Amino acid sequence: MRKLILLTALFALPYFSFAQTDSTALTNNTSYVPAEKYCVVNPSRGLFATKISLEVDYGQDPTGDNRLRDTDGKEIKFNSLADALNYMANQGWVFVNAFQADGSTFSYLLRRPTPRPVIIAGSSR
C-alpha cells in the first residue's frame, strides 16, 4: 500500500509543479524589455537616380512610408550601399544577415542592443 501511494505521488508531482511566472505579478515599475531590437533594411534606387534610399522595417507598421528620414523629416540619401550600412552602424545597428526577399533585391537584417532598465529593489519609480 505504501508503494502504491508513493508511486501515485511521484506520478502526480509534475502536474502540481509549474515553472512559469505569473504575468499579473508584474508591477508598474517592471515590464518586458527585449535584449535586442531587429530591423530589415531594403535599399532602393530610382530608375535614373544615383543615390540610394533605405526603407527600414522595424516590424511594426507594414503600410505607409518607411523610408529612413532625419530629424527634420527629410529623406536621407546615400552614395552607395556601403555608405548606408556605415550610417546604420554609426547608429548602433550591427549586420546580421543578407537575404533575397523577393528573388531580385537583397534585404539586410540588422540588430541593436537595447538598454535594459535597472530595477533597484524597494525603489518606487
pLDDT at 47: 84
Neighbours of 77 (CB within 10 A): 16
Give the domains, in start order, of the chain with CATH numbers. 36-113 (3.30.1410)
Collapsed DSSP state (helix, strand, coil) of residue 99: strand
Average pLDDT, stretch 37-43? 91
**pTM, entire model:** 0.63
Q: Give every strand in the sheet of 106-113, ordered side by side.
A: 53-57, 36-44, 106-113, 94-100
For the stretch 63-108, pLDDT in tens is 778 888 999 999 999 999 999 999 999 999 999 999 997 777 889 9
